[in-house]
Amino acid sequence: MLGDMSANAPDRPRILLDCDPGHDDVVAIIVANHAADLVGITTVAGNAPLDRTTYNACVMRDLLGLAAPVHSGAARPLLAPPLTATFVHGESGLDGADLPAPTREVDSTDAVGFIIETCRATEGTWLVPTGPLTNIALALRAAPDLVDRIAGISLMGGGTFGNRDVMSEFNIWADPDAAAIVFDCGAPLTMAGLDVTHQFLVTHDRISDVDAIAAEFGSKFAAVLADLFRFFADNYISRHDDLAGAPMHDPLAVMAITHPHLFESSRRHVAVETRGELTRGMTVIDRRQIRPRPEPNCTVLESVDAAGAWQLVVDAVRTAAPSH
Ligand code: RIB
Ligand code: CA
């Protein structure tokens, strides 16, 4: 059932990144800026409260000199209580580095309106959510026509095991009702779950690649990134028995579109548990070899060429470093 995703990788696909920066969201921004046409960044509460994830997105936009607008969105899930992951990313949502204050303000507080307008104005945009799916669900509810206008949704979330609960990955766990709307919407879906993201770790060895770029170019951006990576890696190493670094979750949702040859995947039916006492926020992935079974609705990333993915991150940092 594993397929090679190498076919039809479009040159610089149009991407709208919906995120909750977040250390790995930052890498998603860097890779999207390097390999795609990043038409906009929308923010959602998740790793930290909305004011912090939005501030962090604006910091990274300026640090990278991006033209893309930043629009803030949902401050809380559709129904679930607002909960964060500050124990992973720090109180700021982006602890570990001396971040320069942003020079540009957020462009609006209407992320949902921006998502709808952008996807209606130019068909074939990829929505790439790397945080809780609240903004995406609200946009799909307000504009069901988006399903036929977008190229698809490539999300980071889910998996066959959890990180916020036994069976629930944080992005899905934080707003399972929004996730259910997205997985049921009918648009082309790609899912970068924990099974694949835990194959792609930022280790101290790999961080030394970024340190070298910072030294070579005197790059503030690369130096900040290396410090963020160190914080993130040490946090994960301290909390896991089996990880030698931090999984670089979010950039894989971008690379699935820009560099599909780095992955193997399978077509599966995926649904979200919204009521389970022990499994609320679980992505229920149908791997049964039995018929009848539901038609697949999602391309599930199964494996990644981690060395190739890291080289892509290094290339993206090296390209940005000389001028930032
Ligand atoms: O479970 C990992 C996901 O939750 C990543 O997107 C990380 O940034 C956090 O949002
Ligand atoms: Ca995230």
pLDDT tens digit sequence for 3-34: 655 444 558 999 999 999 999 999 999 999 99
Q: Give 4's strand partners.
A: 264
The predicted model gives 129-158 an average pLDDT of 98
Reply yes or no on whether the pLDDT at 137 is more than 80. yes
Reply yes or no on whether the pLDDT at 83 is more than 90. no
Residue 149 CA to ligand 2 center (angstroms) comes to: 25
82 pLDDT tier (thresholds 50, 70, 90): confident
Whether CATH 3.40.50.1970 fits 8-323: no
Question: Residue 105 has what pLDDT?
Answer: 95
The yes-or-no answer on residue 261 being catalytic is no
Q: Give me the catalytic one of 71, 198, 249, 259.
A: 249
Ligand 1 pocket, 169 CB below 6 A? Answer: yes
Question: Residue 38 has what pLDDT?
Answer: 98
Q: Give this prediction's pTM.
A: 0.96
Going from N- to C-terminal start, the domains of the chain cover 8-323
Probe target for ligand 1 pocket from 130, 166, 239, with the most ligand atoms within 8 Å of CB: 130
User: Structure tokens of 243?
Assistant: 């990880």
Amino acid at 321: A
pLDDT tens digit sequence for 236-291: 999 999 999 999 999 999 999 999 999 999 999 999 999 999 999 999 999 999 99
Q: How many CB atoms lie within 10 A of CB 237?
A: 15
Reply yes or no on whether the pLDDT at 152 is more than 60. yes
Probe target for ligand 1 pocket from 18, 23, 24, with the most ligand atoms within 8 Å of CB: 24
pLDDT tens digit sequence for 174-185: 999 999 999 999
Ligand 1 pocket, 18 CB below 6 A? Answer: no
Question: Residue 198 has what pLDDT?
Answer: 98
What separation in angstroms does the CA of 235 have from each of 27, 50, 90, 173? 17, 22, 9, 20
What is the gyration radius of the CA atoms in the chain, in angstroms?
A: 18
| Beta-strand pair 37-43/14-19 | parallel
User: Structure tokens of 113?
Assistant: 């309106």
**Separation CA 79–CA 84 (nearest Å):** 15
71: left (phi over 0), alpha (psi -120 to 50) or beta: beta
User: Structure tokens of 141?
Assistant: 């509810």
